[in-house]
Amino acid sequence: MIDLHTHSIFSDGDLIPAELARRAEHKGLSAIGITDHGDFSNIDFIIPRLVAIADELNPVLKIKIIPGIEITHVPPSLIADTIKKSRDLGAKIVIVHGETIVEPVATGTNRAAIDAGADILAHPGLISDDDVRAAKDQNVLLEITARKGHSLANGHVARLAERISTKMVINTDTHAPGDLIDDELAKQVICGAGLNEGFFSEMQANAAALIKID
């Protein structure tokens, strides 16, 4: 499994990056994105450190570490600049924390992330039809999440994305060791969102294409 949305101690995760990667490797994952929460106050701290640990560990681990960031609760008008700065700092994957129904994310965050070319829009909540179409046009992946709370809107996201043919990806939004999942549980989450099990392979192919691995 490829999981492109996890957190380490560089934001609110429980594990240092090396342990997170090792636990994911032991779980059977082939690639993991470490994407800690960031805004302009800390991306210059987080991203270079994740790039450095990926450079150090990737040659000696079976799992591939993708250094990234989850831009979180940044005002919509600043999201484009934050994405650009994140890429300039070396982020290989840029996620934006979408308009989940369990947090007071600013209205307009979903569309700002899509228009700015984020790689993944995480847990986008009750995303609109227009925004799902825009995500398709901009090739932004919509996340189906295994994360408690955020997953409450999976069915809505899946229904619109399937109807509009917008690409999706499944992630865990891992914060603690117990949040990591294997292929079988990922398939159950996908089925729980109202999709058939075959979408697992499609979502994994979308993730692999994003990070350019076979």
For 32-54, what is each residue's pLDDT tens digit?
999 999 999 999 999 999 999 99
CATH number of the domain within which 171 lies: 3.20.20.140
Radius of gyration of the chain (CA): 16
Structure tokens at 101: 């129904």
Beta bridge partners of 67: 34
What are the tens digits of pLDDT across the range 180-190?
Answer: 999 999 999 99
Total number of domains constituting the chain = 1
Residue whose C-alpha is closest to residue 68's, from 27, 41, 38:
38
* Residues facing 37 on adjacent strands: 70
pLDDT at 213: 79
Quickly state the pLDDT bin for 214 (edges 50, 70, 90): low
Mean pLDDT, residues 157-178: 98
Range of the domain at 101: 2-211
∠ CA 128-129-132 to the nearest 5 degrees?
90
95 pLDDT above the threshold of 70:
yes
Position 211 scores a pLDDT of 96
